[in-house]
Each structure stands twice: as C-alpha cells, then as structure tokens.
C-alpha cells in the first residue's frame, strides 16, 4: 500500500517514526468502522480509509481536525470529523480504534501533541478506562506506547500483543494490539 500524502499544519503533530510504526499496524489490522482518536494530521485514519474502512476522525484541537480534514481531501477520502475530548462526543461502536496518544513524561503542559503528564500515562490511562464502551464484539485497538511510560504493564494487565516495536533514541516504541478482531 502506498503511504498517504500528508501536508504539515502549524501546531499539529507531524507524522514521525512512531506514526509510521503505528501505520504499519493499521495496514495489517484495521478493518470495518474505524475511530481515529487524537487524529492530529489524520494520517492513521486516512491510511485506514484508503484500505476501504469507514473512518471517524476525532481530536480535541480544532486546528488538528481541520488539518485532518484537509489531508483527507488531499488523499481523496471521506470521513466523519468530530471535535471531542477523546470519547466525550463519540457515539456508536467501532471495529477498530486507533490511538497515538501523547506519551512523553513531562512536568508541565507545553505541547498537547506530545505531553503525557508526569508519568506519560495521563491520556493512555483515560483511554484504557473508556474504550470498551465504543468497540464492537470482535474489535481491534491499536495504540502506540513507549518504554518511558511502561507499556509492558498494559501488555500484562490487558493481555495486549506487541505487534510492532522499534528502538528509538534510547527508548522502545511499541504498537500494542488489544482485542480479538482480525
């Protein structure tokens, strides 16, 4: 599959190594109705839409949502775009949920695109506590995490599979797969 074309947008997380690692998993596992949480530039949802999935793009930041909408148009794909703080305005159930959370541990919120709070787990823990209300019976959740926020605990606690992993600047980045679908 060819990679989507993504235009850079000011203040929106530009796809990087972690994004491309997650995209590899999206290409292998995404199917059906897809929810791209924290869509940013829209790269993950666009990748899924290019595979024939029906995609809902969600972000808390209006600039990011407009960036995703523009990038979707650039790639000739449609989708639903929802301005929402994670699942707050999301309805229905999805076969695949994709999440590239802010996971960098920090003491102050400087950049919402990368700031994961003191432990790097603020968005991750909230997501893990809420996603089950939005998945179909046979679902897949694809989420990227880092060794900096101890992704191994989610593998153990939730029975997630590590489907992609890469060493990157002194940390391990991993895509976790939750669920029984595909």
pLDDT tens-digit profile of 99-120? 998 755 555 555 444 444 555 5
Digit-coded pLDDT (tens) for 33-77 = 999 999 999 999 999 999 999 999 999 999 999 999 999 999 999
Distance CA(121)–CA(151), nearest Å, equals 9
- pLDDT at residue 181, as a whole number: 73
The architecture (CATH level 2) of 17-178 comes to 3-Layer(aba) Sandwich (3.40)
When mean pLDDT is compared over 12-21, 80-89, 142-151, 153-162, the highest value belongs to 80-89
Neighbours of 8 (CB within 10 A): 10
How far is residue 80 CA from its own chain's centroid? 16
Average pLDDT score over residue span 165-176: 89
More confident residue, 111 or 178: 178
- pLDDT at residue 112, as a whole number: 47
SS3 content of the chain, % helix, strand, coil (to 5): 30, 30, 40
Q: 86: left (phi > 0), else alpha (psi -120 to 50), else beta?
A: left
Closest CA to 171 of 25, 2, 18: 18
Average pLDDT, the chain: 89
């Amino acid at each position: 599959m060819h990679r989507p074309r993504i235009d850079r947008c000011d203040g929106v997380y530009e796809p990087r190594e972690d994004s491309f690692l997650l995209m590899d998993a999206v290409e292998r596992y995404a199917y059906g109705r897809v929810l791209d949480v924290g869509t940013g530039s829209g790269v993950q949802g666009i990748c899924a839409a290019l595979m024939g999935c029906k995609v809902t793009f969600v972000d808390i930041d209006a600039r990011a949502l407009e960036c995703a909408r523009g990038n979707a148009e650039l790639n000739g794909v449609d989708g639903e775009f929802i301005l929402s703080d994670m699942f707050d305005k999301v309805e229905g159930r999805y076969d695949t949920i994709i999440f590239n959370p802010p996971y960098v541990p920090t003491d102050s919120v400087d950049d919402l695109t990368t700031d994961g709070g003191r432990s790097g787990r603020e968005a991750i823990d909230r997501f893990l506590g809420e996603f089950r209300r939005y998945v179909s019976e046979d679902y897949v959740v694809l989420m990227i995490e880092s060794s900096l926020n101890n992704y191994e605990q989610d593998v153990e606690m939730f029975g997630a599979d590590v489907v992609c992993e890469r060493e990157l600047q002194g940390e391990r980045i991993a895509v976790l797969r939750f669920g029984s679908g595909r």
